[in-house]
Chains A and B, each alone.
Chain A
């Protein structure tokens, strides 16, 4: 009886793992297989990248998988995903590095095995990737600075709520915004830059304290979805009227804030395009065709008037 029970449990454990995986195991036989190792997985932004990748996979007749760690600090988990991806002997790999240095040994291994790497979202500081599909974040944040200047009339105090100070995107967006203000809009002073880890609640608290500290603040820039929502929440909770808020990326909450007039507008990247171009470049390089070293996937500024423009609506996500 005792023995029987134990066996049942053990076989249930194994059975469950296998049953769950069987349908997937059968699929990857003849078609070209390309794993995408992303920086994240659960955020709407990454889901939009995935949808672009799926679209390209269907178009080019290849199989893809899309994986990323639970949060953007888990560098070692991403390395494990990359090494599992390599073990599957793929035709090519798409990779958005959390920390490019940490991944170099594996990327070298891929190069030795003749597996082309396509970097996406943020670059890898190495010459191994055959191509990088990304947004020019510096130029995109500079556009946000131009719009901010236009909306507050070229002078006054503004603040930045950024998502982090270590990642490439965080640095580029912050510096892109600040440098443009210094160069082109001397009447505007960036009085505070704070970091909320892209966490909505944390960014809300940060925004409220900035608003308390600077009663004459004219505008705020949130450097990603979570930061931007945080700024909107902070302004709402502090009952601050007339503050010009510019956000980044989209998402249902941010789109609604723009429609309701709480937010002036936002920069959107083209996540669907990032996913699509990554898979396309991976397929092409696996076939031995030449690909561009840098693929600019583009960005737009949108506001309540342009949000339904087909060109923009196509790259926004909920």
Chain B
């Protein structure tokens, strides 16, 4: 079979194992192998309660990673997702605990606060032409400081808001299927993933997201208002971070104002393990989701095996490098 044949009649199998599908397959296969490996190594790993713990551990990082994926596909980077998450949680605390408003207002406020912060980053990047690394580094510090200022450096508890802890800890699935108490936080992660996947693959916003990352200049020259689209993508990313803020606040039943620094790097790690290119123009939400799960499975599994903590960190670092290198090798060969 020659190459012309392939391009003329791409068989289903060929299509499945090529391009992005191949990357997803690689990441997915690693995830499955990790699961099998840990199950063999420890009888305590493959229990319903532990799998649920893994899913729950990946819910916040997963949502942040999805938000980061959007910005990274445009060729940018977002260092502010961790502290922005905290900021949104604090805003929810102000609205619900300080102002005593009902739950829906808190949810809305957190998401809008995220969207607004994202819009600010987007404006800095698109209009003022500040490099994304610097703009979001600035935002990271601004939001960290503001979280501390607004909360008076004390955690804000949600004890008075009935149902707030159910956002992450409750289980709608468990209500219908008592044997599967999957927390709502995990359900929300998957809903966010499906929605953003849809936006990326089926909407104009998604198309411009990839186009900006591949070749911004040619998009601009074809008469598109690239600044506006870029700002919209940053705002969407921020709104998703707002959801992450709600998830972590609900899980801890409090907004912890000092938390958040370092979470951006774990989100970015999940994104790159999932095969999204840091140079932009390419990436998938499914990949990011798998990336976040790989990280959560790895850390949980190593803990279950009682691997010393210092080695857990080393192994995680090695995995990130291997995952990205494997992806590069494959790309170099195929392209």
A21 touches B302 (CB 8 A): yes
A17-B37, A21-B307 given; A99·B155 CB < 8 A? yes
Cβ of B109 < 8 Å from any Cβ of A? no
Chain A residues contacting B21 (CB-CB under 8 Å) are none
A75 touches B256 (CB 8 A): yes
Cβ of A11 < 8 Å from any Cβ of B? yes
Closest residue of chain A to B323 (Cβ to Cβ) is A13
A14-B33, A21-B41 given; A84·B252 CB < 8 A? no
Closest residue of chain B to A9 (Cβ to Cβ) is B326
Complex CA distance for A74 and B258, rounded to whole angstroms: 8
Complex CA distance for A89 and B43, rounded to whole angstroms: 11
Q: Which A residues from 1 to 25 make CB contacts under 8 A with B?
A: 1-2, 5-6, 9-14, 16-18, 20-22, 24-25
Chain B residues contacting A5 (CB-CB under 8 Å) are 326, 329-330, 333
Cβ of B176 < 8 Å from any Cβ of A? no
Complex CA distance for A11 and B322, rounded to whole angstroms: 11
Q: Mark A77-100, 1 if CB is under 8 A from B, else 0.
A: 001110111111100000000010
Chain A residues contacting B304 (CB-CB under 8 Å) are 84, 87-88
B53 touches A84 (CB 8 A): yes
Closest residue of chain A to B58 (Cβ to Cβ) is A80
Chain B residues contacting A70 (CB-CB under 8 Å) are 262
**A contacts with B, residue count (CB < 8 A):** 49
Cβ of A209 < 8 Å from any Cβ of B? no
Chain B residues contacting A67 (CB-CB under 8 Å) are 303, 309
Cβ of A73 < 8 Å from any Cβ of B? yes
Complex CA distance for A83 and B51, rounded to whole angstroms: 11
Chain A residues contacting B33 (CB-CB under 8 Å) are 10-11, 13-14
B154 touches A27 (CB 8 A): no
Closest residue of chain B to A38 (Cβ to Cβ) is B309
A76 touches B60 (CB 8 A): yes
B41 touches A165 (CB 8 A): no
Complex CA distance for A286 and B277, rounded to whole angstroms: 51
B254 touches A73 (CB 8 A): no
Chain A residues contacting B260 (CB-CB under 8 Å) are 73
Chain B residues contacting A166 (CB-CB under 8 Å) are 153-155, 258
Chain B residues contacting A79 (CB-CB under 8 Å) are 251-252
Complex CA distance for A65 and B310, rounded to whole angstroms: 12
B252 touches A102 (CB 8 A): yes
Cβ of B203 < 8 Å from any Cβ of A? no
Which listed residue (A1, A16, A63, A80) contacts B318, Cβ 8 A?
A: A16
Complex CA distance for A121 and B56, rounded to whole angstroms: 27
Chain B nearest CB: distance from A80 CB in Å?
5
Chain B residues contacting A101 (CB-CB under 8 Å) are 157, 252-254
Cβ of B192 < 8 Å from any Cβ of A? no
Complex CA distance for A94 and B52, rounded to whole angstroms: 23
Complex CA distance for A12 and B311, rounded to whole angstroms: 16
Cβ of A302 < 8 Å from any Cβ of B? no
Cβ of A28 < 8 Å from any Cβ of B? yes
Chain A residues contacting B56 (CB-CB under 8 Å) are 80, 83
Chain A nearest CB: distance from B318 CB in Å?
6
Cβ of B219 < 8 Å from any Cβ of A? no
Q: Which B residues from 5 to 52 make CB contacts under 8 A with A?
A: 26, 29-30, 33-34, 37-38, 41-42, 44-45, 47, 49-50
A14 touches B37 (CB 8 A): yes
Cβ of B300 < 8 Å from any Cβ of A? yes
Which listed residue (B37, B169, B259) contacts A18, Cβ 8 A?
A: B37
A6 touches B326 (CB 8 A): yes
Complex CA distance for A11 and B319, rounded to whole angstroms: 11
Cβ of B308 < 8 Å from any Cβ of A? yes
Cβ of B224 < 8 Å from any Cβ of A? no
Cβ of B334 < 8 Å from any Cβ of A? yes
Cβ of A221 < 8 Å from any Cβ of B? no
Q: Which B residues from 206 to 260 make CB contacts under 8 A with A?
A: 248, 251-254, 256, 258-260
Which listed residue (B42, B53, B307) contacts A20, Cβ 8 A?
A: B307
Question: Which of A2, A17, A24, A87 counts the most B-chain CB atoms under 10 A from its CB?
Answer: A17
Complex CA distance for A87 and B48, rounded to whole angstroms: 10
Complex CA distance for A250 and B56, rounded to whole angstroms: 38
Complex CA distance for A99 and B154, rounded to whole angstroms: 11
Closest residue of chain B to A166 (Cβ to Cβ) is B154
Complex CA distance for A86 and B56, rounded to whole angstroms: 15
Chain B residues contacting A13 (CB-CB under 8 Å) are 30, 33-34, 319, 322-323
Chain B nearest CB: distance from A178 CB in Å?
18
Cβ of A105 < 8 Å from any Cβ of B? yes
A75 touches B252 (CB 8 A): yes
Cβ of A41 < 8 Å from any Cβ of B? yes
Chain B residues contacting A18 (CB-CB under 8 Å) are 37, 41
Chain B nearest CB: distance from A201 CB in Å?
16
23 examples of A-B residue contacts, CB within 8 angstroms: A2-B330, A9-B329, A10-B33, A16-B318, A17-B302, A20-B302, A22-B41, A24-B307, A24-B308, A25-B41, A25-B42, A25-B306, A66-B309, A75-B252, A80-B299, A80-B300, A83-B53, A83-B57, A84-B304, A99-B155, A102-B253, A102-B254, A195-B153
Extra contacts besides A75-B259, A88-B44, A195-B153 (11): CB < 8 Å? A5-B333, A14-B37, A17-B37, A18-B37, A65-B308, A73-B259, A75-B252, A76-B60, A88-B304, A99-B254, A101-B157
Q: Which chain B residues have a beta carbon within 8 Å of chain A's beta carbons?
A: 26, 29-30, 33-34, 37-38, 41-42, 44-45, 47, 49-50, 53, 56-57, 60, 153-155, 157, 169, 248, 251-254, 256, 258-262, 298-309, 311, 315, 318-319, 322-323, 325-326, 329-330, 333-334
